[in-house]
Amino acid sequence: MEIKIRRARREDLPAFLDVYTRAYKGLEDYAYTTRRRIKAYFHWLITRDSAGVFVAEVSGQVVGFICSDSRWLSDYAKEEVGAIHELVVLPEYRRMGVARRLMEKALEYLKGRGRSVAELWVGVKNRSAKRFYESLGFQAKDVVGKWLRMVKIF
């Protein structure tokens, strides 16, 4: 299976809505659940750092997104860090390397923008996502309510 990674465009909104909604089935506690909120979220993500939003395609079908931000001012690190705001992959494409390829692309992008720290927030009960991030070198740092902050130093 060939995975193609490319920059996201505003025209990818319908695909983002589909992937996001399907990816968060069963994890609604950590997701926006209305089309209006998901749409607004996509626009916020692509406006924050449009060069850091990437799409994964397999055979021309969008199967995942990663939204990184090279200018995120972390309240915890007290400096600008690279943030991963969102990583979503269609359920049927999980455990096939799609998320790993997206994360590699985002981390490469963040390093290229001069960042030496990446942070993300994941649901405390989302065990599979936490294991995945740990496999990439992220370490658990802070828990705030239902969220766990994880950090990777390059």
Sketch out the chain's domains with CATH numbers: 3-153 (3.40.630.30)
Question: What integer pLDDT is reported at residue 76 of this predicted model?
Answer: 87
| pLDDT of 77 over the 90 cut | no
Mean pLDDT across 76-97 = 95
pTM of the full predicted structure? 0.95
Q: What are phi and psi of 112, to 5 degrees?
A: -65, -20
Tokens of 89: 């992959």
CA distance 115 to 14: 31
